[in-house]
Structure formats: structure tokens, C-alpha cells
Structure 1
Amino acid sequence: MKHIITCLFGFLLVGCSGAKVEQSTVLNPTNEIEGIKRDVLQNTSNGDDVKSSNLAPKLKAYSTPENIEDIMVYLTSDELQGRDTGSEGISKAADFIQNVFEKNNIQPYFSSYRDTLSNYSDGTAFNVVGYLPGTDAKLKNEFVIIGAHYDHIGLMSGQVVDSIANGANDNASGTTTVLEFAKYFGELEENKRSIIFALFSAEEKGLLGSKHLADKLKEKNIDLYAMLNFEMVGVPMVGKDHSLYLTGYELSNLAEVSNRYARKNLVGFLPKAKEFNLFRRSDNASFHDVFSVPSQTYSTFDFTNFGEYHKVGDEASLMNYIHMATIVNETIPMITGIVNSPIKELRYN
């Protein structure tokens, strides 16, 4: 997340590895899946077509902590040198992302997956942009962007033992979440609206990757329905009755719609997010500015649960993989509802 606030350095670190976390602190993915299975059976008993139901996605592609860990370990490895924009390390991350897209039926949206930034002058930088066409004759002309930034800040000077800022929570966690969504929807191929999966570079340089893509898509005159952004979702919030918060919560009905499709209190309000204007501090802002459609960020960074923001200590070992898999599993029905709803329900207030 771009330059949140320097006072974060003093906050208490409460993140923990998926191997050590207690089940009582997060929702159990297995229980969540069983709950949705019950919903599927109920829909079936009511005569509904499970396959076409917005609220009953197929279960076989649901995420596991092991899926999450495999991606996170690579994206945060020292080999990638902190994924600084324009670096060799971030190019390797882009290769990895492209490989996930290719294996899961996600096409390049442009002539290739890599889209070179027109507004970055310090070397070459590129977003990685994938595309899953919609299946409905009319709704396929409407787009939902699911995005996250995959860059971080690279190497930090003045560090004695470790100089690599691996960027696990910021934002390998969001990148991994988007890749899990791409795997799920790419296998299912039942999204009525078209989906663009966008992994942005140069977020840490001033949201340059998302600004470039927003302007380029505006020139193509696409009908953008919503932009759903994921940022810093690697550890659970503390003492909250919801799993995620939404930046710009009060600006639209996205939280209400999200919770309805998730069939639970998935998304809530975080006062600190409003206080520090996090709505303007991540890639959603670029699409809000250019398209004026609901463009908001989902996050679990609550200003008390992670003290390694923009430090070399932002390591994969601090991430909670059970929590991350649960976030993916809880959010898939929400995204399914949004991309398949017969009308445009989302709106700014």
C-alpha cells in the first residue's frame, strides 16, 4: 500500500504463520465449504439450478492454505529481490503470474500479457493483464476488473543482516488472492460478465501501473462495471466481526452487495481507513478517477495487526495462510454474484 503513514512502525505485530495459527482465531476453510455445500443442497431442494446460481459456485477449485503458501513462498523469495519496479526480480514475478494465467484459461487482454507502462521513465515497467471473456451474449460487454499490485520496494539501504524488502503482506498477499480467483474462474468459465485480472506494477511509485491501465482502457471505451482491488490481506484483523474492510466504505453500496452474495458479514467499515484516506492510497483510485464507477479496495490491514509495513521484516513466515485461504473462499461467492447479476446493482451513493 502506497505510503500509508510512518507511525505504523510502532504498532504491535500480531501476524503469525499458517503453521502456528490457532484455529479459533480464523474461520476454518473446511467448515466454510461445508456451509456452502448446505446452501447448494437447499437451493437444489427449492428447485433452483445449482449450476446457474450466483450463490452456489462449484467447490472443487476452492483455495487451500497449501495453494496460498506455494504462491507466496515464490513471490516473496530472495530470488525476486523485493520486486522493485523495473527490476529483474519483478520480471521473474511477471513470468510466474503469466504462467498461472496460461495454465488456467486466462487469455492476454492485449497482444501479450505484459503491458508496458507509458508513464514510467526509469527503465521498463509493465502490468500483467489477463482476460476471461463473459459467457452471456449481452453481459459479456460489461467488465469487472479484479486487481492488486505485485511490485514492492526492492532493496533497502542501511540494513546489516537483510536488505531485501520481500513484501509479503504488501502486496504478495493481494497478488496471490487475485491469482487464486483467476484459477477458480478460469477453470469454471461460467462468468457472465467479462473479467480482467490485472496485476499492477509501480504502485509504490505513485499508482503508475493502474493509472496507465485505466487510461488505456478508457481509450478503448470499455463498459467498466466495477473495479475490485485487494491489498494487504495476509493477516486477520483483530477483534472485528467481519473478515475484510472496504476502503471508501460509505461511498457506494459495494459492502452491502458483497455481504448479500457472501451470505455473511464479510465486509465492514474500518474508521482508520477513512481517517488515513486509504481510498486514495491504492490502485482502485485510478479507476475511480477515470471511470467514476465503484472502484474500491478490500483489505485486512487494520493498523494494529502488522508492524512490518515497508520493512525487510515483511516476510512470508509472518503470513497466515489459513486466513488467506478463508478470505478467498468467502469472497468467491461475492465475486460470482457481482459478475453474474442480471442488472448493474453496484452504484456510488
Structure 2
Amino acid sequence: MKQLKNIFRICLLSLVIFSCKTKEIVIQAQEVDDIVTYLASDELEGRDTGSEGIEKAAVYIENYFKDNGVKPYFDTYRDSFTVKGKEAFNVIGYLEGNDPNLKNEFVIIGAHYDHIGFAEPVGDDKIANGANDNAAGVGTVMAMAKYFAKTKSNKRSILFTLFSAEEKGLLGSKHLAKTLKNEGIDLYIMLNYEMVGVPLVGKDYTAYVTGFNKTNLAEKMNEYAGKKIAGFLPKAGEFRLFMRSDNYPFFQEFNVPCQTFCTFDFTNFDHYHKVGDESDKMDFNHMANFVNTFIPAVRKAVNAPTKEIKLNPSK
């Protein structure tokens, strides 16, 4: 009888473990397709800061956060500021960490949701829809927000930040970085996603990291993922991309690892700031794989017992 009870316990434990595994959230290609296709639709007219189109984008992101149980960090989801007399706003979702000590440390996962509005016409088309730049990055952040909200697996607190006015000179991220610095939050890392809608070609990694040598972020993300997902692209240094995306204001304010992941390598996408940056140019199977590849590494970074991702000396 005792042996039978032990067998029963083992079977029950196996069932529990199997059940937990089946609850793992996997992001489907259709989910990122839906997000990017809406944000890059003609209805939003290129999401220029201060426009009716970017207002629609903000409402869409807010509703997504609400539907998936992601709370606002401030009184509302919006972090408002002005750009040349026009109202602008970052959209910020918040998940409190579930560890009593680590929840006082923050990880920011971000992307900019604005674009340039209109560009040089091609035929009758003058809308610069900004699918790869940067609805794809927004879709990545929103999918990660859904994952962490559903799994409740974050020990540290996470801010999911969608920035406006990036195209105006990183104005949204500059505003939020200063605000959070003045609040005195303990920022561990900032992970930014920019132009990830098409895969790299001929590389042995999934995305390159801007400011590669400034930190051990790539090394740790590869360790966490159990494979090489983060690599070095020489052109990223040549074009000073570390200082040209929304990671940079947080690096300036907090002096902690704040970097961008990107799959645009200057050869694999011909529609930067052009009307051809449409959702039908995106590879949504790649995007779903991208998100599902990065989530385990991001989760381990969020849950690391100590601040393992660090600035490199003299970088």
C-alpha cells in the first residue's frame, strides 16, 4: 500500500509539472500581425506626434494593457509632455514584481510608437506607415507585457514603455527618463526594441545590441537563452546607433545598462522613412519566433538574484 501511495504521489507530481508547462504562454504570429497591421494601417496616417493617428495608437495600446491586466504606472497610462505646443504622451504599463525585495528594482522594456506621418509620395501613397519603424518594436513590447501579465513570473517590477516623439529627437524617452530619475526609482536595466520586423541575413545571432562593448548584456542574454541571440554589428557602432534610440536618455540619467536590440542591418530592408514601410513587408513568423526566443532570456534577467548585467569598465 505504501508503495502504491508513492507511485500515486509521483504520478500526481508529474501531472502538476505537465500542467504548469502547458500553461506556458507562446506568442503566435497572428497576435503580432494584428498589432503591427493596425498600428501601421493608413487609418493612423503614420502616427506623427500630436496627430489624430497617434491618439488612436495610444488608445489601442492602453486597451491592450487593460485587457491583459497590465496596470498604469502613473494615474493613467499616459505620461504627457508637449512638443512645439502640441500635446504628446508616452504610454506606460506597469507590473509590480512578486518578490518582496526585488520588486523595488525596475526593468524597463521599451519601444517608440510614433513615426513621421507622411513622406515623399509614391504614386497615390504618401503615408509613411512605419511598420518596421517601429510598430514591430511596439508589438514586441506589447507581447512581452501580455506574457508577464499572464504568467505573473516577474520578481522585479517592469515598466512597459511606448515612447512618443522619438522621431523628433528622443523627446519622449528624455522626458520619462528625467521623470523617473527625479522619482528616485532603482533602475536595473532598460531593454529597447527597434526595427525588428524582418530577420537578419547571414548572421549567427537573432539581433544585434547597440553599445555592444559598453556592458555584458549580450553575454548574459546569450547565457540566459542557452544560445546566441544577441550579437555585434560593426555598422551599429559606425552609425552611433547606441545614441540614436530611446535607450540612450536612460543611460544618460541612470548610468546603468540601457541598450537596443535591432534586426535592421542596412541591407535587409529598403523602406526606412519611406511610404513602403508597410505591414505586408513584415515577417510575422520571424517576429513571433523573435519574441518567443527573447522572452526566456528577458525573464531570467528580470528574475536574476543579483544585478548580473553590468557596465563594462572604461566603456
TM-score by length of 2: 0.91
| Cα contact 2:119–2:273 (8 A) shared by 1 | no
1:190 alignment counterpart: 153
1:18 alignment counterpart: none
Offset, 1:225:
0.2
The superposition leaves residues 52-72 of structure 1 with CA deviations (integer Å, 9 ceiling, x where unpaired) of xxxx98764211111111111
Equivalent residue for 1:341, pick from 298, 304, 312: 304
- The alignment partner of 2:200 has SS state of coil
Equivalent residue for 1:129, pick from 84, 89, 92: 92
Matched, 1:239 2:202: yes
| Equivalent residues, number | 298
Q: Could you tell me how far apart the structure 2 residues matched to 1:94 and 1:61 are?
A: 25
Equivalent residue for 1:73, pick from 27, 34, 37: 37
- The alignment partner of 1:216 has SS state of helix
2:103 alignment counterpart: 140
1:254 alignment counterpart: 217
Matched, 1:294 2:257: yes
1:25 alignment counterpart: none
Change (3 A) 1:309 1:157: closer
- The alignment partner of 2:47 has SS state of coil
- The alignment partner of 2:86 has SS state of coil
Change (3 A) 1:59 1:311: farther
Which consecutive residues of structure 1, in runs of 5 or more, have no partner in the other structure?
Answer: 1-43
| Cα contact 2:111–2:246 (8 A) shared by 1 | yes
Structure number with the bigger relative contact order (C-alpha 8 A, sep ≥ 6) is 1
Offset, 1:157:
5.0
Counterpart AA for 2:32: I
Equivalent residue for 2:130, pick from 159, 167, 190: 167
- The alignment partner of 2:221 has SS state of helix
2:173 alignment counterpart: 210
1:37 alignment counterpart: none
Counterpart AA for 1:65: A
> As a proportion of its length, which structure holds more strand?
2
Q: Could you tell me how far apart the structure 1 residues matched to 2:306 and 2:200 are?
A: 33
Offset, 1:160:
3.7
Q: Could you tell me how far apart the structure 1 residues matched to 2:26 and 2:160 are?
A: 18
The superposition leaves residues 313-343 of structure 1 with CA deviations (integer Å, 9 ceiling, x where unpaired) of 0000000001000000000001110111111
2:269 alignment counterpart: 306
Q: Could you tell me how far apart the structure 2 residues matched to 1:252 and 1:50 are?
A: 36
1:285 alignment counterpart: 248
| Cα contact 1:149–1:199 (8 A) shared by 2 | yes
| Cα contact 1:58–1:188 (8 A) shared by 2 | no
Q: Could you tell me how far apart the structure 2 residues matched to 1:287 and 1:208 are?
A: 12
Counterpart AA for 2:290: I
Offset, 1:114:
1.1
Counterpart AA for 2:255: S
| Cα contact 1:164–1:312 (8 A) shared by 2 | yes
Change (3 A) 1:245 1:59: farther
Which consecutive residues of structure 2, in runs of 5 or more, have no partner in the other structure?
Answer: 1-12
**Cα root mean square deviation, aligned:** 1.8
Change (3 A) 1:174 1:121: same
The superposition leaves residues 80-131 of structure 1 with CA deviations (integer Å, 9 ceiling, x where unpaired) of 000000100000000000011001111100010011025x233110000110
Offset, 1:158:
4.9
- The alignment partner of 1:71 has SS state of helix
TM-score by length of 1: 0.83
Q: Could you tell me how far apart the structure 1 residues matched to 2:77 and 2:22 are?
A: 27
Q: Which has the larger radius of gyration?
A: 2
- The alignment partner of 1:298 has SS state of strand
Q: Could you tell me how far apart the structure 1 residues matched to 2:105 and 2:22 are?
A: 23
